[in-house]
Amino acid sequence: MFSLFIENIKISVSSVLSNMTRSLLTALGVVIGILAVTLMGTLISGLDQSFEKSMEFLGKDVLYIRKFQWFGNKDWWEIRNRPNIQTKHSETIRNKSQYAKYVAPVAEWWTSVKKGDENVSGVRVSGTTEEFAMITIAEVDKGRFFSRAENRSGARVAIIGKDISDALFQDKNSLGERIRIGSYNFRVIGEMEKQGKFLGMFSLDNQVIIPIGAHQRLFSRRGWTGINVKVDEADLDNATEELTALMRQVRRLRPSDEDNFAINRQDPFKEQYAMIKIAIGGTGLFITILSLVVGGIGIANIMFVSVKERTKEIGTRKALGATSKMILFQFLMESVIICLFGGLIGLGLAYGGSLIINSFFPSEMPFGLALAALGLSMIVGIVSGLAPSYKAAKLNPIDALRYE
Amino acid sequence: MSLIFLKNIYKIYNVGGEEVRALDGVDLTIKENEYLAIMGPSGSGKSTLMNMVGCLDTPSSGDYEFEGEKVHNMDDNQLASIRNRKIGFVFQTFNLLPKATAQHNVEIPLVYANIKREKRLKMASNALASVGLDDRMHHKPNELSGGQRQRVAIARALVNNPSLILADEPTGNLDSKSGQEIMNIFDTLHQNGNTIVLVTHEDSIASHANRTIRLFDGKIIEDVAK
Ligand SMILES: Nc1ncnc2c1ncn2[C@@H]1O[C@H](COP(=O)(O)OP(=O)(O)OP(=O)(O)O)[C@@H](O)[C@H]1O
Ligand SMILES: [Mg+2]
């Protein structure tokens, strides 16, 4: 039986190849279906990777006291009229909170950074305290973070991100060098490690970190401010409650007043991301199923045509000793091969597409999904080939031989 | 022992409520190494009889034994197996696969007999050589003349050493010279001990056979041996 199996495959392959254009057109639905499902998988795997990294940046155990709720749905006017977070409250929190392990105020402003003729614009200038180094997961790669004393004295020292060191210093040493942040001179004392992009949107490395005192004196108070609080992961909920109470206290809110600040953490990102993932997955799946169904119908149709065209061949084969099963298998094989062929083309295109996706953010085509996709195209081949193949198998040899 | 034994065979079609008796009580015995021609006017049932003998068709009623085996009780798979091992068909329209080479065409019955590739190739080349086509093995049908195509078809019918070779108007689509060549091959096969049944309209073709039956309206009306 095995040699018959091989022969049947050969017969099917040669018949598919001899009708190349037709097979290609027929397989188009499967090509698109497989392309959609694998590209979707690649996209999601890439998003997962980049999302994980970005979530690491936010940290599991850090609470962010901000003016806005991340992904909140509060009225815009209400939010706009809220007071800014005052960085001095970080002292209150540090003194009164029993959950806070580290507290760092953060003020941000965007301006250009220069060194000689080199100029980087739109750099995020973060002012904070030395405790920031304990909260962020990013490490200082070269040099050091500023000290408590430097922070107190408002020293003009800066830790620069990787984008800045690449642009201004290339391979040269940056430590001890002077740079201009906006129109003020600062001395570089450290370089942060490379962190990549946040959710693929903006570079975390396009920043400089300076003591908050200097920041507030030099860069107005117009940028946004917030307070980052590191707690134990187990205490997140309690700490959120406690910080809310503390903030309400410093803001002197009456019990009937609503919170006019927000305590953020990474969770809503996860929920939001899960929804995006479902949306992408759902769309991909929808396109996949639709094109596989349409493609499957097309294949069934072309197989019916093929059976009709080759009625005489079927009669001859039966006269020469082919059983119904062998004929069934031959045509089933043919439709499976058309589908596999389409599946492989789809995978090839998807691989190309995954390289393109990869140039935007790191991602890879999931191997298991590629295999499943091939399996899926085989199933489409079997399902859509079944009726035409059965028709071929059941042909009466005499009628088939008489067919003109 | 007779090779073919048909007794009281009927093949009845129902076309639009009307009964068509393609075979109407046929008795026929064919012995080994017979060379039989079936003649008769168009529509008299020649092809129907030949298909019956070739196990492609089953009778509406009647008994059919092939080498002592009761064919009329067999299922489709058993019939396919008999056709594959015991019978070689030659058609008026050649019925070669257009995209396959001569050698591959001849191989097909061996594929269905599940014979290994090396052996198949050898048997196919031998069969092609025996019809004088050893130099055309890798040609496709459209690269061959009509006579050559029919010779490929004969090689295909011969390739698994069948007990019986059936040919339905094998020269019907050929000019007289090619037809003559084909008949020479059948004559040689007969001399080598093969049993041959052929359907023809032409007396000149029938004259090669050593027995001729004549059909009319599904009945055998004449049966003469030379
Ligand atoms: N499938 C069928 N349905 C109905 N009638 C049929 C069928 N097949 C054959 N017949 C009828 O059976 C009769 C015998 O047909 P058959 O093909 O055996 O004739 P034939 O002698 O081979 O004719 P020719 O010389 O033209 O080939 C014809 O009247 C034909 O119309
Ligand atoms: Mg006929």
B8 assigned to some structural domain:
no
Over the stretch A92-125, which tens digit does the pLDDT of each residue have? 999 999 999 999 999 999 999 999 888 999 999 9
Q: Where are the domains of chain A?
A: 2-54+271-402, 62-265
Q: Is the pTM of this model over 0.80?
A: no
B1 assigned to some structural domain:
no
Q: What is the pLDDT along chain B (226 residues), one digit of tens a residue?
A: 689 999 999 999 999 999 999 999 999 999 999 999 999 999 999 999 999 999 999 999 999 999 999 998 899 999 999 999 999 999 999 999 988 899 999 999 999 999 999 999 999 999 999 999 999 999 999 999 999 999 999 999 999 999 999 999 999 999 999 999 999 999 999 999 999 999 999 999 999 999 999 999 999 999 999 8
> From the CB of B46, is ligand 1 less than 6 Å away?
yes
Residue by residue, DSSP assigns A226-241 as EEEEE--GGGHHHHHH
Q: Is B26 exposed, middle or buried (0-12, 13-18, 19+ CB in 10 A)?
A: buried
Residue A187's nearest CA partner among A155, A154, A158, A146 is: A158
Given B51, B114, B156, which is nearest A4 (Cβ)?
B114
Work out the widest C-alpha separation in chain B, in whole angstroms.
54
Total number of domains in chain B: 1
B92 assigned to some structural domain:
yes
End-to-end Cα distance, chain B: 21
Residue B32's nearest CA partner among B4, B7, B6, B56 is: B4
Chain-chain contact of A317 with B108 (C-beta, under 8 angstroms): yes
Lookup result for tokens 């750099």: A123
Is residue B117 within 8 Å of A3, Cβ to Cβ? yes
CA dist B156 and A18 (Å) reads 23
Is residue B190 within 8 Å of B196, Cβ to Cβ? yes
Lookup result for tokens 């075979």: B23
Residue B100: give its domain's CATH number: 3.40.50.300
* Assembly ipTM: 0.95
Amino acid at B51: N
Containing H/E element for A214? helix A212-218
Strand A184-192 to A118-128 pairing: unpaired
CA dist A174 and A191 (Å) reads 8
Using the atom order of ligand 1, give the atom closest to the CA of residue B45. 18
Pocket test for ligand 1, best of B9, B14, B23, B46 (most atoms within 8 A of CB): B46
Over the stretch A371-403, which tens digit does the pLDDT of each residue have? 888 898 999 999 999 999 999 999 999 999 988
Give chain B's mean pLDDT: 94
B183 assigned to some structural domain:
yes
Using the atom order of ligand 1, give the atom closest to the CA of residue B218. 14
Report how far apart, in Å, the C-alpha atoms of B226 and of each of A226, B190, B191 are: 116, 15, 16
B201 assigned to some structural domain:
yes
Over the stretch B142-183, which tens digit does the pLDDT of each residue have? 999 999 999 999 999 999 999 999 999 999 999 999 999 999
- For A202, phi then psi, to 5°, come to -135, 155
Instruction: Determine the 3-state secondary structure of A36 from DSSP.
Output: helix
B24 assigned to some structural domain:
no
Q: Which residues of A touch B168 (CB under 8 A)?
A: none
Domain interval for residue B110:
34-61+80-225
Is residue B79 within 8 Å of B101, Cβ to Cβ? no
Residue A383's nearest CA partner among A255, A311, A289 is: A289
Using the atom order of ligand 1, give the atom closest to the CA of residue B15. 4
Distance of CA A390 to the CA centre of its chain: 45
Residues 15-34 of A with CB under 8 A from B: 15, 18
B26 assigned to some structural domain:
no
Amino acid at B137: M
